[in-house]
Structure 1
Amino acid sequence: MDSVTKTKSPYSELFSLPGAKGFCLSAAIARLPVAMMGLGIVLALNHIYNNWTSAGLMSAVFTFSAAVVTPFYARLFDRFGQRKVGLVVLSVQAVAMLAFAFGAMHRISIGLLFILAVLMGLTQFAFGALVRTRWAWALAPQGARGEELLNTAYALESGVDECVFILGPILSAWLATSVNPVAQLFVPVAALLLGGLAFFSLRSTEPPAITEVSQEQLGQAGRVTNSPVDQGGVVKPGAHQGRYKAKSALSFPAVFLLFIIFIVFNMSFSAVDVTVTALTKQMGKEGIVGLQLSLIAVGSLCGALIFGSLKLKGSRWRYLLRYLILLTIGYVGFRLTMNNLVLLGMVELVTGLCVSPIYATGNLIVRGTVDSSSLTEGLSWLNTGSSIGTSLGSTLAGVALDAFGPPGAMMIPWIVTACSVPLALLGWAVSRKRDKKTNQL
């Protein structure tokens, strides 16, 4: 029996957990709008106004609005529970997305459409953070083995993200070019409702709500008498309400630094999306833009599967630094091969191998830094950083396209990713210094 257990795939172990298949699949479907809306807005707005700057700016406004509120929703999820908060926000989000889609379809004024884009963004929350919190909750009872499997779970979710981002742009581009220029704004609503409602219906895997207790309920030395978290910071299986107010995840230096890093390097992805969209249109091959953009996600999916099977040794910051350097080199290859879509696609596949490990490593750093009662918020700050970076990247790329064309815009990805490398190096240095002090105690 022991030999069978030892040879069992870590992915098989994950999906043997009760309810794991259900919440993983439903969350994947619910994340499809994230992969479709950014490019969908660009395609719809460029068709209506024939202006890349307006299209990129509106996509950025939507993404930035979502980024602003993501941590706020995350704290609500941690405080009151995923289902209780999620069903309300999900309903409002669907209405807001439909309002924007109908507004674009009827070609309302661009000013009003910008307002609807902001309102739509303000209803967005991070399903990725919710499902990663569920993995941490489900694996907590397994102790050390659970911590090992958490690496696999986070790599798996990064791979799921890439599957979503493979399908999303292809579906958006196909709907916009073959069905209707705004059809790609309606399909995400259906995916959101289907996946979201299924996810929130799975109550057996929902982490417990964490509520604030009064000072009178605190024990001596500030201890909580009915804390659902053990001394190791792991939520106890079967625990319920009753915890002191959690420390904000962003107050941890490591989380704050990761937040900045994720803003900077995520500017590259939206810049690539907008630039490749303009490049294929310029070449008269606009119909393959979705396929072209999905190639980096295919590589990232492969990278996630490989990374999830590894046993990490040493500082997670070292892995983050390594993959950011490789990603920068890959983006230089984008600029050199952009005039040949076949060569560009090959470089995208190879470069994509680095993408999922970056996200998985960042999530692992957060998981090892914050208290379990703030885990959803901590993970959401990375989503927020990604969203802010995405909005800035699409805006920069739109301006660069109108001013310099695709060659100038394709410079943005490698420049911004290179800027994130010194920040990761700083995080690694601080981490090593802290570890040395810990070992000396």
Structure 2
Amino acid sequence: MTTSGGTLVLVSRKREPDPTRPPGPYRRLFAVPGARAFTAGNLLARLPMGMFSVSAVIMIAGQRGSYALAGAVTATGLAATAIVAPWTARLVDRHGQARVAVPATVLAVLGSLALVLCVRHNAPGWTLFAAYAATATTPNTGGMSRARWAHLLKDDPAARHTANSFEQAADELCFMLGPVLAAWLCAGLFPEAGTLVGAGLLLTGVVLFAAQRSTEPPVPDRTVRPRSPLRTPGMVPMLAVFLATGAVFGSTEVVTIAFVDGPAAGAVLALQAAGSCLAGLAYGRVRRTARLRTCLAAMTVLMALPLLAAAGTGSLLAVAGALLLGGMATAPTMVTGMTTIQRITPSGQLNEGMTLAVTALLGGIAAGSAAGGWTVEHAGAAPGYAIPVTAAALALALALLPARTTKARLS
């Protein structure tokens, strides 16, 4: 407040930031030199992960008129990824991210381009399977980013927790936006647009990510032949937990699509991903983290909400709200699980260890999708929500067993 020419004038003053207030955890995270650069490239490369399957289904079904063929092709690609991805990750650990990720991505992009040409020119059906299987060399971009954080923040467990929470939120965001972008490109431009744009984003993002050499983890001593992370105490039980957790995701997706039975299914599933994304960011701000078994117990309870909503009310809004709440258990569970994987995996094999976890997760998604689809067909959509609850309870039971049978502590 001041005076001007005898007139009282109100003047707004800009509030200055409090110099005594410490910066938030995410601000401190991205203050690490080079963090913003490699994160930007990695996010660009990760967005297509949610685009490729949807784009392939739309493209193949639109050109060949068969959803069965489209589903079989994408399932073959998933199976090939489960086999090839751990070997790609092992090469990344042994020879460095930049030396392996770029050529592996080039091979995967060539596979995507071959798929487009085969579909476009009505090549024999077997060529579609071969082309899509070639995309299995795609490196685990999320795992490579987490490995960089683990290297940069090796002496700061709290900051690593924040980084893992951010990475999980980024995963959810990409898998929420990717299918929407793919569907829009395929429907709005031409059927092959989703695959072509996804391939371009993947190659550009990986090249930009690999160019940030200052933050790349060092290559371990090659004279010592490391044993497989599968032989690490606690790894196999953890992979079993990830397998059951994947079944939660796969069955929820299939059952929800059947329950909604319309174009709103994508929006309803996006609510679940949005809940997980928000929970992941919030989880990264807390100083005290929960045990894995606690997260799985919360997931089991929250995943019962869609079952109660569907069976008790049959209301789409009620189910959508329940999925939003259920999704909030996803990110904390995945963050805690991945942190455990990082802790029990030898430092020079982080990419392979995390890729094994992702492979188990993908296997669980496939099994959950099959179980959810069978239940919907034989019992109906509402009872189908019992499958995610059962899978979550199984994951919890598996997480409780290793505490007695191995030296690894699931925390």
**TM-score of the alignment, normalized to the shorter chain, above 0.5:** yes
The more displaced of 146-155 and 422-431 is: 422-431
The normalised TM-score by structure 1 is: 0.80
1:198 — aligned with what?
Answer: 208
CA distance in 1, matches of 2:369, 2:386: 13
Q: 1:258 to 1:327 in 2, by over 3 A?
A: farther
Deviations 1:30-64 (A, max 9, x none): 11121122333344444456665544443322122
2:11 — aligned with what?
Answer: none
SS in 2 for 1:8: coil
Q: Contact 1:11–1:152 (CA<8 Å) still a contact in 2?
A: yes
2:95 — aligned with what?
Answer: 80
Shift of 1:363: 1.2
Q: 1:19 to 1:103 in 2, by over 3 A?
A: same
2:7 — aligned with what?
Answer: none
**Aligned: 1:97 with 2:90:** no
Shift of 1:361: 0.5
Larger gyration radius, structure 1 or structure 2: 2
Q: Equivalent of 2:366, from 381, 384, 391?
A: 391
Deviations 1:101-156 (A, max 9, x none): 333344544333223222222x122111100000011112xx2xx11110010001
CA distance in 2, matches of 1:334, 1:178: 35
1:218 — aligned with what?
Answer: none
Deviations 1:338-372 (A, max 9, x none): 95433332222111111111111011111221221
Q: Contact 2:402–2:408 (CA<8 Å) still a contact in 1?
A: no
CA distance in 1, matches of 2:312, 2:144: 38
CA distance in 1, matches of 2:372, 2:62: 17
1:162 — aligned with what?
Answer: 172
CA distance in 1, matches of 2:118, 2:342: 41
2:126 — aligned with what?
Answer: 111
Q: Equivalent of 1:354, from 329, 332, 354?
A: 329
SS in 1 for 2:32: coil
SS in 2 for 1:210: coil
Q: Structure 2 unaligned segments of length 5 or more: list them.
A: 1-17
1:266 — aligned with what?
Answer: 246
Q: Equivalent of 1:326, from 301, 305, 316?
A: 301
SS in 2 for 1:207: coil
Q: Contact 2:111–2:133 (CA<8 Å) still a contact in 1?
A: no
Shift of 1:81: 0.5
2:341 — aligned with what?
Answer: 366
Q: Structure 1 unaligned segments of length 5 or more: list them.
A: 214-243, 436-441
1:300 — aligned with what?
Answer: 276
CA distance in 2, matches of 1:254, 1:333: 35
Deviations 1:364-418 (A, max 9, x none): 1112212211112111111111222223334445556666664565554333333
Deviations 1:168-209 (A, max 9, x none): 122123234444444322221121012111101111111111
2:12 — aligned with what?
Answer: none
CA distance in 2, matches of 1:211, 1:293: 45
**Aligned: 1:290 with 2:270:** no
Q: 1:110 to 1:346 in 2, by over 3 A?
A: farther
Amino acid corresponding to residue 89 of structure 2 in structure 1: A
Q: Equivalent of 2:147, from 111, 116, 133?
A: 133
**Aligned: 1:257 with 2:237:** yes
The normalised TM-score by structure 2 is: 0.85
Q: Contact 1:174–1:290 (CA<8 Å) still a contact in 2?
A: no
SS in 2 for 1:247: coil
Q: 1:430 to 1:311 in 2, by over 3 A?
A: farther
SS in 1 for 2:362: helix
Q: Equivalent of 1:311, from 287, 304, 309?
A: 287
Q: Equivalent of 1:150, from 157, 160, 165?
A: 160
Q: How many residues align?
A: 392
Query: What percentage of aligned pairs have identical amino acids?
Result: 28
1:341 — aligned with what?
Answer: 316
Q: 1:276 to 1:57 in 2, by over 3 A?
A: farther
CA distance in 1, matches of 2:235, 2:408: 15
Q: Contact 1:166–1:298 (CA<8 Å) still a contact in 2?
A: yes
The 5 Å alignment of 1:174-189 reads 174-189=184-199
Q: 1:34 to 1:21 in 2, by over 3 A?
A: same
CA distance in 2, matches of 1:41, 1:271: 21
Higher relative contact order (CA 8 A, sep 6+): 1
2:25 — aligned with what?
Answer: 10
CA distance in 1, matches of 2:295, 2:346: 22
SS in 1 for 2:90: helix
Q: Contact 2:306–2:319 (CA<8 Å) still a contact in 1?
A: no
1:438 — aligned with what?
Answer: none
Could you say what the CA RMSD is over the residues aligned between the two structures, in angstroms?
2.8
1:36 — aligned with what?
Answer: 51
SS in 2 for 1:253: coil
Q: Contact 1:295–1:348 (CA<8 Å) still a contact in 2?
A: yes
Q: 1:339 to 1:25 in 2, by over 3 A?
A: farther
Q: Contact 2:241–2:399 (CA<8 Å) still a contact in 1?
A: yes
